[in-house]
Amino acid sequence: MVKNGTRGERDLVKLLWEKGFAAMRAPASGGATKKPLPDIIAGNGEIYLAIEVKTTSRERIYIDSDKIGALVRFSEIFGARPYIGIKFRYRDWIFLSPGDLELTPSSNYRLDLGIALERGRDLDEVTGNDRQTRLR
């Protein structure tokens, strides 16, 4: 059985390739190692992305603060832009920077659909393809 998160990661990797990025799922993400690895690493020679992937059928999701910390640490070492890529049901991918998330009293992060829509970026913005569109 394929978990929803794995399917989401694979779908996003495919979309990144279609946008001209080499992209791969990090094989040891998700706690299989003590190293701070994101779910997806992607780059096109100019822009490098480290993405923690979340999918949900609800309008709110909680993210462990350790996952966000690991994403930021990896991104600093690798020279990538850190993003949380979230796929709400029936919506396109939305990307947020760690600073866009709200910290809860329990020191985890909460992300509501409304905040994601307000603060989030789409795939073209994250990959720089929106610049090409604006230049035309």
Q: Is 52 annotated as a binding residue?
A: yes
Q: Tokens at residue 72, please?
A: 């930021």
Q: Is 102 annotated as a binding residue?
A: no
Question: Coil, helix or strand for 60?
Answer: strand
Q: Tokens at residue 105, please?
A: 């009293």
How do 102-103 and 109-112 pair as beta strands? Answer: antiparallel
What type of residue is 99? G
Place of tokens 């993003």: 83
Q: Is 9 annotated as a binding residue?
A: yes
Using alpha carbons only, give the angle 1, 58, 109 rounded to the nearest 5 degrees.
100
Tell me the catalytic residues. 29
Question: Coil, helix or strand for 42?
Answer: strand
Binding site members = 9, 39, 52
* Residues annotated within a binding site for Mg(2+): 9, 39, 52
